[in-house]
Amino acid sequence: MSDAAERDVAVVGCGPAGCAAAVFAARDGLDVAVFDRGRSSLARCAHLENYPGFPAGVDVGTLSDLFRAQAERAGCAVVDDLVESVERAAGDDGGPAGRPEADEPRFVVTPQEGEPVTARRVVAATRYDGEYLRGLDDDEAMFAVRDHGDETHEHFDREYADRDGTTPVDGLYVASPSDADRQAITAAGRGARVGKRVVADARIDDGWWPEAAAGVDWVRREAELDDEWAERDRWVEWFDAEHADGPVDPDSDRFARVREAAVDDARSSYVGADDEAVRAAAGQRALAERLDPDAIVDAHGPDALLDAMDDGAIAAHAAGDGSGPSAGDPASDGGDR
Ligand SMILES: Cc1cc2nc3c(=O)[nH]c(=O)nc-3n(C[C@H](O)[C@H](O)[C@H](O)COP(=O)(O)OP(=O)(O)OC[C@H]3O[C@@H](n4cnc5c(N)ncnc54)[C@H](O)[C@@H]3O)c2cc1C
């Protein structure tokens, strides 16, 4: 196992729960692998009509592609493979006494085809499956038995994990199966919550204290910053005031290091108008790339796509005057491909 790829986080499943957890973790800079193959609840929906953001619903093939694309864009490695087992890495007994050092992996994740991966944290996000976790804790704790007439069936206990995904096993989180997994949007919400827990725990491993580690993943407009908050010193002052009575000595190196990182993090969440335009165009393009023009034309006629476009843009394209966005324009994605 010594040459296994080492990740901060391995997420099992890239449905609504897994995608959300993976995106939150990767956006905070964690090195995340997402495994995705096998039985999927999402794939069984005929058409998803109650997931916010899709006025006429969305077919699950498109939504799954979007989930994977979003995970990749956030920096995750998306691995098309089925996880067969998650085991403790050598030296981890799952409790505080056997806890490996903060930067050491706790788990070995073994997929069906590819190489095993080691990870410090594992997020299970598979509505139909929990079997690959067997052995990490007592079966009675993880699995529940249900009667079906004369037969009994064992299934992963939806209440095994807390609502933020934490479990009695250090570093193991469960986003799904859970009591939130019966609707796609609630599964996504649970995944997001678990992703935020993973981020906070990784920061705590790195010396942050809980109040400092809990943050928001927001992208904000620079225009909302008034002159006072444009200065770094104002943020330092804010952090000092927030944490003066916290568990860590404000004069310590540890406090200074965490403050530096927290202030950098908060300030980097502000983007200028140009950056906002680039992001908006990249978002539009990522959606456009996943449309199926043939299906739209078949169902709604040859003019359906043209109707959705600006007449000026069509005329420019037809004239071949090359007036589309270039790589330097805000409207260009600058790196999505
Ligand atoms: C028939 C049907 C219709 C439904 N219709 C709706 C609806 O209209 N609206 C609604 O809100 N909800 C609907 N649902 C519920 C919805 O599908 C779930 O709430 C949602 O998909 C749960 O998301 P999840 O991420 O927890 O799990 P899943 O959607 O099951 O995603 C899990 C992902 O993990 C992968 N995976 C599984 N095991 C492994 C493994 N061992 N290794 C690697 N990858 C793995 C799977 O391939 C899948 O991509 C429906 C469910 C069914 C069965």
Q: What is the pLDDT of residue 323?
A: 52
Please tell me the distance from the alpha carbon of residue 220 to that of residue 83, in angstroms, as a whole number.
37
Residue 106 CA to ligand 1 centre (angstroms): 27
| Phi–psi pair at 231, nearest 5 degrees | -90, 135
Q: What is the pLDDT of residue 305?
A: 79
User: 301: part of which helix (H) or strand (E)?
Assistant: none
pLDDT in tens, 92-106: 655 554 455 667 889
Q: How many CA atoms lie within 13 A of 134 on its CB side?
A: 11
Please tell me the distance from the alpha carbon of residue 7 to that of residue 240, in angstroms, as a whole number.
33
pLDDT in tens, 158-175: 999 999 999 999 999 999
User: Domain ranges in the chain?
Assistant: 5-206, 210-271, 273-317
Whether ligand 1 lies within 6 angstroms of the CB of 174 is answered as no
Residue with CA nearest ligand 1 atom 5: 45
Q: 3-class SS at 142?
A: helix
Structure tokens at 121: 């944290």
Q: What is the pLDDT of residue 219?
A: 97
pLDDT in tens, 229-244: 999 999 999 999 999 9
Please tell me the distance from the alpha carbon of residue 118 to that of residue 4, in angstroms, as a whole number.
6
Structure tokens at 89: 């890495």
306 vs 265, more confident: 265
Residue range 252-278: mean pLDDT, rounded? 97
Top-level CATH class of 5-206? alpha beta
pTM above 0.85, yes or no: yes
pLDDT in tens, 12-58: 999 999 999 999 999 999 999 999 999 999 999 999 999 999 999 99
Residue with CA nearest ligand 1 atom 31: 15
296 vs 324, more confident: 296
Most confident of 86-100, 136-150, 155-169, 322-336: 155-169
Residue with CA nearest ligand 1 atom 10: 183
